[in-house]
Structure 1
Amino acid sequence: MLHGTTIVAVKKGDKVALAGDGQVTLGQNTILKHRANKLRLLYNQQVLAGFAGAVADAFTLFEKFEGKLESYRGNLQRAAVELAKDWRTDRILRRLEALLVVANRQHMLVISGSGEVIEPDDGVVAVGSGGPYALAAARALVRHTGMTPAEVARAALLLAAEICVYTNEHITVLEL
């Protein structure tokens, strides 16, 4: 199974940034790719989306989520809830192994296959192998610096890459 990544999202005011590293691993000991892009701009470039988990599964989820966004005219929360329902109940989708982080200027959500749609309290979220490290770094940077969301997200991933073997320093950042 292909997996291993870190995604971090930071929201301050009406600005939001999503960052992801580029590493794709096979099993626990082989790096297959260093510069994968695990982020997408969706719905007329108004929604950011990133994934952690199995690559093929994530592409399927991106496609399904984009369809939900179109169906609900960009309503991020409604699209997320509907995707989570399908993901949890559909016989084929429920086997997908990934987490999605999605955000627009108003909301940031984590969507999982077990039906969770979670909005963080503090405007910071991180998932994936290095998620706990990136989350701690991003929270500290938000609280104790004047950095922009994009700067915080990039710095948090760089710190996670120093600790997590499944996170590398080839970082992609998208922002709204």
Structure 2
Amino acid sequence: MVFALIILFHPAFTFRSKTLYLIAYAALFLVVHIPWQIFVLSVSEFTYADWYRIGGASGFSYEFTPKNIAKSTAALLGIMWLFVPQGFARLRDAPSYQRLFAYISSPVPFIGYVWGFVSSRLLYVIAPPMLLISILAIRAWQRKYQIAHVSAAVALNLGWLVLSYKVTL
């Protein structure tokens, strides 16, 4: 969806090239997902359509809780979340193409929160645009501070990974 929005809003593409790119991306998407759904149907005689028809997964009330939402979201970026607001503040001075990309790509991944089931796997789509925004924030720092911060973020995220398996919901 992010690629589609970027293509639609790209000022250098003609209507014809936008249409061709969208068809190409749709074909790539369908080439992967249609065979996968056929395989799942052939093995388990169950599809996503069946899953939606019967009301989805059980356990909505204990999975879709503020605690699980916070835990799953924090697990994605860890300490890098602290720099997302600073990155958005720096966007004001960024070139227009960077602002356009950030404003288009940032809200789209949050669709995961309306899925009805929260897990870190489902929310992974949030990480790429938010990491880009965080990097925009730390980009102006001296190199040694960037290295120290990224090293600390990796260490803290690994610690969070170990700790999150011990946290019960």
TM-score computed with the length of structure 2 as normaliser: 0.21
Taking CA–CA contacts closer than 8 Å with sequence separation of 6 or more, which of the two structures ends up with the larger relative contact order?
Answer: 1
Q: Which has the larger radius of gyration?
A: 2
Q: Which has the higher helix share?
A: 2
Q: Which has the higher strand share?
A: 1
